[in-house]
Amino acid sequence: MGYYLEFKNITKIFPGVKALDKISFGVNSGSIHGLVGENGAGKSTLLHTLSGALTPNQGEILIENQTMKFSNTKDALNAGIAVIYQELNLVPEMTVAENLMIGNYPNKKGFLDKKKLKEKAVEQIKMLMEDFNPKTKVKDLSIAQKQMIEIGKALMQDAKIIAFDEPTSSLSDREIKHLFEIIEKLKEDGRTIIYVSHRMEEIFKICDSCTVFRDGKHIETFRNMKEVTHDLIVKKMVGRELNDIYGYEERNKGAEIFDIENIRGKGVKKSINLTVHEGEIVGIFGLVGAGRTELFKLIYGLEKVEAGRIEVKGEEVSLKSPKESIRNRVCLLPEDRKDEGIIGIRSVSENINISSRRHHLIYNFFLNKQAEKETADKFINDLDIKTPSREQLAVNLSGGNQQKVILSRWLSEDIDVFLMDEPTRGIDVGTKYEIYKIMYNLAAEGKGILFVSSDLPEVMGVSDRVVVMRSGEIIGSLNREEFTEEKILSMALPVS
């Protein structure tokens, strides 16, 4: 028998946390094997040991029953392993062809063989069922296309094992379909595919088998996805029953808390009108490019508002910068946690206190370090943020916990209106549920929440009202009683 790829007792310890605890399972070639688990469960860490970026403290990785020793990522590449991460490793200013063959340029005694470079690139692009010009600079491609380049890179190095880490978070449905077609092709080629995703529908759609992780431990490996149910996997992932993932409960709506009238500006073509009430959660749904993030940027003061007015609790406000927005009790949870949310090299405590520290200065000037420690501890406790200490660098936390840190930043401030841009993107089931609960609690306290999401079931599950955007304008809105997938999608899709 024997598996093509096997993990045996892989253990990885970081200061204060056992990220992987004796992980053992095998994967057959010519199959797609899913890895599922909550954030911090160990999936990404395992991929890092596979790619050679991390060395396990104990255990072995075997390929065709031979123990592999990776001192660095080049060793893993040479062994035929390619890992495609959420953060793509492409050089934006270089062309498609140059990126495809980076490190392996066809050359004649050191001089670049441009003809061969172009030929091989065109061949690879065709295999990926794409049609872009090999001379296009990678920075001009969409995320989906960039992902294809990463796959192309792996194929050009004839990777036998290809692992995907949350590949679909930024893709449209059509792009996901294309990605799956390519992955199926890779499987037919006999390659070994590992697929990490929080989206259960995808795991069921594309994987032949899967392994469930929890808290760094191997919980169970299911050899045949057809024999497994969604609820069973979720139960294994969280170790408890999850009745309704969204946990929606009705609550009362109050007076208008946030009113946008005839707002126009960059990325927003027609006037935008939007009202949020106290206790209301309004979801903004739309496809990529609909203008949702642009709207948030306008509201929050990052782009100039060319016309219109904004009112918070009935009073007109001028939100000319993020600082003014916060002073007017409006905050933003940005779409990109890593680049716009946390300050990675500073501590959890500093990330939480960054704005609210102004409220408890000593003599109105000096930092109140004791108060800051207490604030940080309070939110680490209340929101169950998994970190060894408040001084841990924020970059070392998992995505879900980083999001909780950003939430804490605003919960420690005085905020009435929360703008949340894809608040649960790239976060697992268990932590998503915790974030929904925080949203419901805030709403119950009388706050107003405006959240952007590309996850239609989530938008329908969590919102009191959905507003649909398309091409920079609001097409329509639906109350919860009126929600159907068809109605919402028909508003969101471009009219052909």
Asked if 367 is part of the footprint of another protein (rule: CB under 8 A), the reply reads yes
Which of 110, 131, 188, 365 touches another protein (CB under 8 A)?
365
At 315, which helix (H) or strand (E)?
strand 315-317
Amino acid at 5: L
3-state secondary structure at position 493: coil
Asked if 153 is part of the footprint of another protein (rule: CB under 8 A), the reply reads no
Asked if 332 contacts 303 with a C-beta cutoff of 8 angstroms, the reply is: no
Q: Which tokens hold the place of 209?
A: 């088998």
Asked if 57 is part of the footprint of another protein (rule: CB under 8 A), the reply reads no
Q: Which tokens hold the place of 361?
A: 């200065």
Which of 342, 439, 449, 466 touches another protein (CB under 8 A)?
342
Which of 40, 334, 461, 472 touches another protein (CB under 8 A)?
334
Residues 6+ apart with CB under 8 A from 51: 70, 73, 76, 81, 83, 163
> Segment near another protein (CB under 8 A), from 202-210, 226-234, 363-371, 448-456?
363-371
For residue 152, give the DSSP letter. H
Which of 107, 318, 321, 490 touches another protein (CB under 8 A)?
321
Which of 308, 344, 446, 476 touches another protein (CB under 8 A)?
344
Q: Which CB, 111 or 365, lies closer to another protein?
A: 365
What distance in Å separates the CA atoms of residue 322 and residue 300, rounded to the nearest whole number?
6
> Segment near another protein (CB under 8 A), from 23-31, 71-79, 180-188, 338-346?
338-346
Q: How far is the CB of 68 from another protein (least distance, A)?
A: 23
What distance in Å separates the CA atoms of residue 172 and residue 395, rounded to the nearest whole number?
28
> Segment near another protein (CB under 8 A), from 26-34, 209-217, 275-283, 342-350?
342-350
What distance in Å separates the CA atoms of residue 73 and residue 488, rounded to the nearest whole number?
45
> Which residue in the block uniquely carries the two structure tokens 């028909």?
490
Asked if 108 contacts 90 with a C-beta cutoff of 8 angstroms, the reply is: no
Which of 322, 471, 476, 489 touches another protein (CB under 8 A)?
322
For residue 100, give the DSSP letter. H
Q: How far is the CB of 361 from another protein (least distance, A)?
A: 7
Residues 6+ apart with CB under 8 A from 141: 96, 132, 149
Which of 15, 110, 314, 494 touches another protein (CB under 8 A)?
15
Q: Which CB, 98 or 372, lies closer to another protein?
A: 372
Q: Which CB, 196 or 407, lies closer to another protein?
A: 407
Interface map 68-107 toward another protein (x if CB under 8 A): ----------------------------------------
For residue 394, give the DSSP letter. G
Q: How far is the CB of 354 from another protein (least distance, A)?
A: 5
Q: How far is the CB of 302 from another protein (least distance, A)?
A: 8
At 468, which helix (H) or strand (E)?
strand 465-470
Which of 355, 446, 480, 483 touches another protein (CB under 8 A)?
355
Q: Which CB, 233 or 394, lies closer to another protein?
A: 394
> Segment near another protein (CB under 8 A), from 19-27, 165-173, 202-210, 352-360?
352-360
> Segment near another protein (CB under 8 A), from 188-196, 284-292, 358-366, 459-467?
358-366
Decide: residue 143, CB within 10 A, 0-12 exposed, 13-18 middle, 19+ buried.
middle
For the chain, what is the radius of gyration of the CA atoms?
24
Distances (CA, A) of 293 to 288, 298, 449, 469, 473: 9, 9, 15, 11, 12
Which of 229, 366, 494, 495 touches another protein (CB under 8 A)?
366
Which of 44, 45, 325, 387 touches another protein (CB under 8 A)?
325
Q: How far is the CB of 97 from another protein (least distance, A)?
A: 30
Which of 112, 361, 444, 493 touches another protein (CB under 8 A)?
361
> Segment near another protein (CB under 8 A), from 4-12, 42-50, 282-290, 324-332?
324-332
| Pairing label, strands 107-108, 111-112 | antiparallel
Asked if 192 contacts 163 with a C-beta cutoff of 8 angstroms, the reply is: no
Which of 34, 40, 216, 341 touches another protein (CB under 8 A)?
341
> Segment near another protein (CB under 8 A), from 116-124, 247-255, 281-289, 333-341?
333-341
Asked if 191 is part of the footprint of another protein (rule: CB under 8 A), the reply reads no
Task: Look at residues 428, 421, 389 and name the one whose alpha carbon lies nearest to residue 406.
Answer: 421
Alpha helices in 85-191 (DSSP H): 96-100, 114-127, 143-156, 173-188
Three-state DSSP string of 231-286:
HHHHHHHHCCCCCCCCCCCCCCCCCEEEEEEEEEECCEEEEEEEEEECCCEEEEEC
Asked if 348 is part of the footprint of another protein (rule: CB under 8 A), the reply reads no
Instruction: List residues binding another protein (CB under 8 A).
Output: 15, 300, 302, 321-323, 325-327, 332, 334, 339-346, 350, 354-355, 357-358, 361, 365-367, 369, 393, 409
